[in-house]
Structure 1
Amino acid sequence: MSGTQSLPAAVDALKDKALEHKRGENAKYTISVAQYNINEINSELDDLEEALRDLRYYKTVLEEAFDGSAPTMLGSAVQTAENAVDVTQDELLGNVQRSEMADEEVSLDQDDTEPEVELTPEVETQIRQIRSAKQQVENVSETIQGKLESNRDTWSTRVSAAEELQKILGGQNSDFSRTLNHMHRLLTRDLMDSSGSASKFVSEWENATDSWEKHQSLQSFDDFKEKHDLSDSTIEDVKTLSKSQQLTLADVSTDTLEEMKRVDELESAVELSL
């Protein structure tokens, strides 16, 4: 019988195995809690990083493409964001662990129902800080976007006027027509697309505006009038053409006809019916 274990000893051995199993289950749960908390923090940090990327894009475009200035609150928003993510590895590990589940507290009397995985108080606090920083970054970003939209509206008006004049002239200046098409694309499609490259937009915009400046007389009716010394009545007749309205010889004066004839662009573009 020497090899036979006494009943009390057998009970103690079973209890030790049960406690070991319980500790193993507790360790798994602790890891699950940590993993859940880490995933939640990472998700919030990803959102903050995306907001910062958008902010950097809009800031660069405003300052380098349109010579604008970012709002003074930008520095504070960026600093708040940096503080929100400035957590050491040790602090992060401490924040995501569930301290009340220590091994020494394991008891066979505990409810076998696994508790719900949830955020630790420390992680909840950190997430609130990250979200607050993200909101500040987005507020600054929206302010900058408002400035960019104002610049876009101004330039879109100027480009539209030039496009109208080009339409009347039959797009005779192909280089300027390409410039207008390029500017139209940049303003309507690329400008507010923060997923693109800010440096690329700045470079393309600078090239487009350089070409724009080389064609000052084609930028608007006023510029065209000034360059060719045209009268107001001639310009009005030219504008009539832009509305697809037909002019007859009876509609224009001799002076207007003479002015149109001495401007090569108008002479080839204007069609008058008898």
Structure 2
Amino acid sequence: MSGTQSLPTAVDALEDKARKHKQAQNTQYHVSIARHNISEINSELDNLEEALRDLRYYKTVLEDAFDGSAPTMLGSAVQTAENVADVTQDDLLGNVKSSEMSNDEISLDEDETEPKVELTSEVETHLSQIRSAKEQVENVSETIQSKLKSKRDTWSTRVSAAEELQKILGGQNSDFSRTLNHMHRLLTRDLMDSSGSASKFVSEWENATDSWEKHQSLQSFDDFKEKHGLSDSTIEDVKTLSKSQQLTLADVSIETLEEMKRVDELESAVELSL
């Protein structure tokens, strides 16, 4: 009998084994809680960082490319975001550990095969703070985007007017035609794309507007009229041609013909039928 355990000893051994197994289950459960909570916070922090990157892009473009002013609440929104984001992984783990997690036996509902892994109260509070900060950042970002869209609409109108004039002139000024194409791309494709480089956009926009300013007389019909001293009737005839409508000699006065003839760009671009 010396090699055989007594019944009480065997029972004690089984109970000890069961207790260790349960402790291992509890430990694994709490590890799962920690991982889940930290994962949730990191995910929200990633979203907040993305919102901040977008905000920085729009702010830089508004101020440096269009000489606009960011809203006054920008500073407080960024500060709030930086405060809630100023957390290390050790801090996150500390928040999880500080929750009331006992080593009592884990109970399951009748329809459960594994215990639920839920967020701790401390982490719920932190998540709420992060989401609130993100909302503030996004509100400021939307305000700046609204200002940028207004700038875009104004410039798009100006570029369209210049393109209309270039159409009549047959794109004789190739440098300015390239500038208009460049500006059109920047306004319609690049401006509101926050995934791009703000500094790159600012640099390209500055180059485009520098070229734009060198061709003032080609920016609109009014500018073209002023430079060449054209009458309103001549400009109206030019606008008619810009809409791909035909004019005959019977539609044009002698004065208009004389004005068109003395402007090199119009003389070579306008065709009249007999």
TM-score by length of 1: 0.95
The residue aligned with 1:222 is: 222
Q: Report matched runs for 1:103-122 at 5 Å.
A: 103=103, 105-106=104-105, 114-122=114-122
C-alpha displacement of 1:271 = 0.6
Is the contact made by 1:33 and 1:97 (CA closer than 8 Å) also made in structure 2? no
Structure 1 residues 111 and 157 mapped into 2: Cα distance closer, same or farther (>3 Å)?
closer
CA distance in 2, matches of 1:217, 1:117: 70
Matches within 5 A, 1:34-49: 34-49=34-49
SS in 2 for 1:201: helix
Return the alpha-carbon distance in structure 1 between the equivalents of residues 191 and 40 of structure 2. Answer: 33
Query: 1:221 offset after TM fit, Å?
Result: 0.5
> CA 1:136–1:111 in 2, change beyond 3 Å: closer, same or farther?
closer
Aligned to 2:270: 270
Matches within 5 A, 1:128-207: 128-207=128-207
1:195 shift after superposition: 0.7
CA distance in 2 between counterparts of 1:94 and 1:213 reads 59
Letter in 2 for 1:94: G
SS at structure 2 position matched to 1:247: coil
Unaligned 5+ segments in structure 2 are none
Query: CA-to-partner distance for each residue in 1:160-198, whole Å, 9 max, x for gaps?
Result: 000000000000000000000000000000000001111
RMSD: 1.6
Are the counterparts in 2 of residues 96 and 123 from structure 1 also a CA contact under 8 Å?
yes
Query: d(CA) in 1 for partners of 2:242 and 2:99?
Result: 77
Partner deviation per Cα, 1:200-219 (whole Å, 9 max, x = no partner)? 11011001000000000000
- Structure 1 residue 106 displacement after superposition: 4.6
* Farther off after superposition, 173-182 or 94-103: 94-103
Q: Which moved more, 1:90-99 or 1:8-17?
A: 90-99
The letter for the 1-side match of 2:191 is L
Report deviation, 1:6.
1.8
Counterpart check, 1:32 vs 2:27: no
Q: Percent identical across equivalent pairs?
A: 85
Structure 2 counterpart of 1:269, one-letter code: A
Q: With structure 2 as the length reference, what TM-score do the two structures score?
A: 0.95
When structure 1 is superposed on structure 2, of 256-265 and 2-11 the one drifting more is 2-11
Q: Residue 221 and residue 22 in structure 1: after superposition, are their counterparts in 2 closer, same or farther (change >3 A)?
A: same
Amino acid in the other structure paired with 2:68: G
Cα deviation digits, residues 59-106 of structure 1 (max 9, x gap): 000000001110000001001101112234443112223754444x35
Q: Distance in 1 between matches of 2:138 and 2:151?
A: 20
8 A Cα contact 1:26 1:101, kept in partner: no
Local SS of the residue matching 1:188: helix
Match of 2:20 in 1: 20
Contact 2:167–2:242, Cα closer than 8 Å, also in 1: yes
Query: 2-side partners of 1:172 and 1:111: how far apart?
Result: 80
- List, as ranges, runs of 4+ consecutive aligned residues in structure 1 with deviation greater than 6 Å: none
Contact 1:30 1:98 in 2 (8 A): no
Query: What CA deviation, in whole Å up to 9, does each residue of 1:137-167 have, x standing for no partner?
Result: 0000000000000000000000000000000
How many residues align? The count is 271
8 Å contact kept, 1:22–1:106: yes
**For residues 59 and 132 of structure 1, what CA distance do their matches in structure 2 show?**
20
Give 1:259's aligned residue: 259
1:243 — aligned with what? 243
Return the alpha-carbon distance in structure 2 between the equivalents of residues 226 and 89 of structure 1: 66
CA distance in 1, matches of 2:126, 2:94: 12
**Does the CA-based 8 Å contact 2:172-2:265 persist in structure 1?**
yes
